[in-house]
């Protein structure tokens, strides 16, 4: 299937998985901490609140291209049946948009852009 024709929720599904793996690989390579500690640290990256803050930063600093903003908005506005447990609905939708963008870039094999955004995220978190 052409990535441009995928649903935003499918992009978010893939984006969530790839972003989570990116975070875990980074943390394992960076630290010799125990898995329980790594899991706690990873929440600075993979929580809805964290992802919403990343996308907010990208938007406020005009980092995203027009196409990337379109993908983000499609993901943010997607209708879901999920009810957030630990966050408000707006933050949840923003994080879904972030994941859709990440999934789109990954499936489009745009590794250079993923690397650029990842470097910014590491700076935001303070790693």
Cα separations in angstroms, 38 against 19, 63, 111: 15, 29, 25
Residue 16 appears among annotated catalytic residues: yes
User: Looking at 16, 32, 88, 119, which residue is catalytic?
Assistant: 16
Given the structure tokens 């980074």, which residue do they identify? 26
96: number of Cβ within 10 Å? 30
Supply 71's token pair: 């993908």
Pick from 107, 96, 110, 109: nearest CA to 55: 96
Supply 66's token pair: 């027009």
Supply 115's token pair: 């690397």
Whole-angstrom Cα distance, residue 1 to residue 30? 36
Q: Any idea which residues carry the catalytic annotation? A: 16
């Amino acid at each position: 299937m052409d990535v441009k024709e995928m649903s935003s929720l499918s992009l978010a599904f893939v984006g969530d998985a790839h972003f989570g793996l990116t975070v875990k690989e980074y943390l394992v390579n960076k630290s010799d901490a125990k898995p329980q500690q790594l899991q706690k640290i990873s929440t600075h990256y993979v929580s809805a609140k964290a992802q919403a803050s990343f996308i907010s930063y990208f938007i406020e600093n005009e980092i995203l291209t027009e196409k990337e903003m379109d993908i983000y908005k499609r993901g943010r506005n997607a209708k879901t049946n999920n009810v957030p447990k630990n966050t408000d609905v707006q933050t949840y939708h923003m994080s879904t948009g972030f994941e859709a963008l990440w999934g789109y870039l990954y499936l489009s094999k745009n590794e250079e852009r993923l690397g650029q955004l990842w470097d910014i995220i590491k700076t935001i978190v303070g790693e």
